[in-house]
Structure 1
Amino acid sequence: MNVLQRSPDTETDVVRHRYDRGAARYDLVTWPMERMAMDRFRGRLIAQVNGPRVLEVGVGTGRNLPLYRPDLQIEAIDFSPRMLERARRKPIPANVTLHLMDVEELEFPPGSFDSVVATCVFCSVPDPVRGLSEIRRVLRPGGRALFLEHVRPGTPWLASLFDWLDPLVSRAGPHINRRTMDNIKAAGFAVDREENVLSDILKLVAAHP
């Protein structure tokens, strides 16, 4: 089902409308964190991409797009029309095609991609295991999924604090207590590499089906 055909009462629509409302100021709001850390972590993630066919899910305003090698063919999706509008206002490399699409319902055949990339996406996907399972479906045998994700911390007292704060934070933004490593494994992936890049809250992950 196309994302635009969903019932307006679904959790997916609630999240999508939130990103639509915040799209115009998204780059400004996230600029401090990008400058402090995220820019270099994005670069490290994209450097691991194998091609030629690459899917980026949750492309947002297109921060990763200038980082891809020109020999790659990039299909980049997001379920927020307004976020995609912001991405299209930037110079789009010739090897990139943007799509309005939901990661939980990817419109690509099985085995379509050599790599799939997601940066800070699965904190917001309503059904993360379903979205991750779709990524596994569209990866070719031997392909890799590459993630830069913030997760529930491992320190017990901090994890409890994140659990307590999550209902408040997630009303206006992403979930902060997602057990994303567990979700990646539940979707059928084997983890090749898990690197803590900001304590154990922000991780670089490589996995294969």
Structure 2
Amino acid sequence: MSVVSKYNRISRIYDLIEAPIEIFLYGRWREEALSNLKGRVLEVGVGTGRNLEHYPAAAHVIGIDNSEGMLEKAREKAGGMQNLTLLLMDAEHMEFPDNTFDYVITTFVLCSVPDPVKALKEMRRVLKPSGELIALEHMRSSNRLIAWFEDLINPLMYFLIGDETTRDTLENIKKAGFTIIEEKNLAFKDVFRKIRAKP
């Protein structure tokens, strides 16, 4: 089963599954990362729209996802937002011109994109030279015990939702040609991180 099929299948209960971690961790990270943005913003992997409430009116947001089921939930959350457009689109093949966006946002997405470096190269392409990638992601820990646990649960997570817990996302961002300007550990040592990068 493809990653898209998995997300279409679980889209109706996805928010319920993630509710505890959203309440205790994700929600405040989203608020801190997104609440001061302005200009043209692309959110890659908008999912069920968990970030939408955190974008200010000064941000003109385009959210893309390749799961119609997840987008349906995002449309429900969007309500009457005038500064938002939601599109069905593949992160690895984006239909935007070069140098379009001031910000590209990913939140817990790069673990499930089939080819994360290819998708990141697309993100770099559509960013303006002065633009910025902001990524809230989980990734393989440098702590051996935590990494062992990630290796242990990786097959199950991939089977259930196409989520790979063992990716070196920081290195993937560098491979795509970005320059890291901030790397901040958020939780569980260095599993959850905020990364800001320039194209």
Deviation at 1:52, TM superposition (A): 1.0
CA deviation string 1:93-143 (max 9, x = no partner): 110000000111111000000000010000000000000110000000110
8 Å contact from structure 1 (residues 145, 208) kept in 2: yes
User: Equivalences for 1:115-130 in 2 at 5 Å?
Assistant: 115-130=103-118
* Equivalent residue for 1:71, pick from 34, 43, 58: 58
What residue number does 1:167 align with?
155
What is the CA distance between 1:66 and its match in structure 2? 1.4
- Which of 154, 157, 179 is the aligned partner of 2:168? 179
In 1, the alpha carbon distance for the partners of 2:152 and 2:15 equals 28
Question: What RMSD, in angstroms, separates the aligned Cα atoms of the two structures?
Answer: 1.2
Q: How many angstroms does 1:169 deviate by?
A: 2.1
Q: Which amino acid aligns with 1:161?
A: F
Q: When the two structures are superposed, what TM-score results if normalisation uses the length of structure 2?
A: 0.95
167, 174, 177: which one aligns with 1:188 = 177
Q: Aligned residue for 2:92?
A: 104
Deviations 1:134-160 (A, max 9, x none): 000000011000000000011123213
1:151 pairs, out of 128, 131, 139, with 139
**Contact kept? 2:36, 2:56, Cα under 8 Å:** no
Count how many residue pairs are aligned between Structure 1 and Structure 2. 196
Deviation at 1:46, TM superposition (A): 0.6
Shift of 1:92: 4.5
How far is the alpha carbon of 1:88 from its aligned partner?
1.1
Amino acid of the residue matched to residue 95 of structure 2? E
Aligned residue for 2:11?
Answer: 23
Is 1:204 matched with 2:194?
A: yes
SS of 2:160's equivalent in the other structure is coil
Percent sequence identity is 43
What is the CA distance between 1:48 and its match in structure 2?
Answer: 5.1
Q: SS at 2:165's partner residue?
A: coil
CA distance in 1, matches of 2:91, 2:179: 20
Shift of 1:41: 0.5
Distance (whole Å) between structure 2 residues aligned to residue 165 and residue 76 of structure 1: 30
Q: Which residue of 2 aligns with 1:59?
A: 46
C-alpha distance in 1 between matches for 2:50 and 2:40: 19
* Distance in 2 separating the partners of 1:54 and 1:181: 21
Query: 2: distance between equivalents of 1:168 and 1:31?
Result: 20
Any unmatched runs of 5+ in structure 1? 1-12
Task: Give yes or no for the alignment of 1:131 onto 2:141.
Answer: no
1:163 CA drift (Å): 2.1
2-side partners of 1:96 and 1:208: how far apart? 24
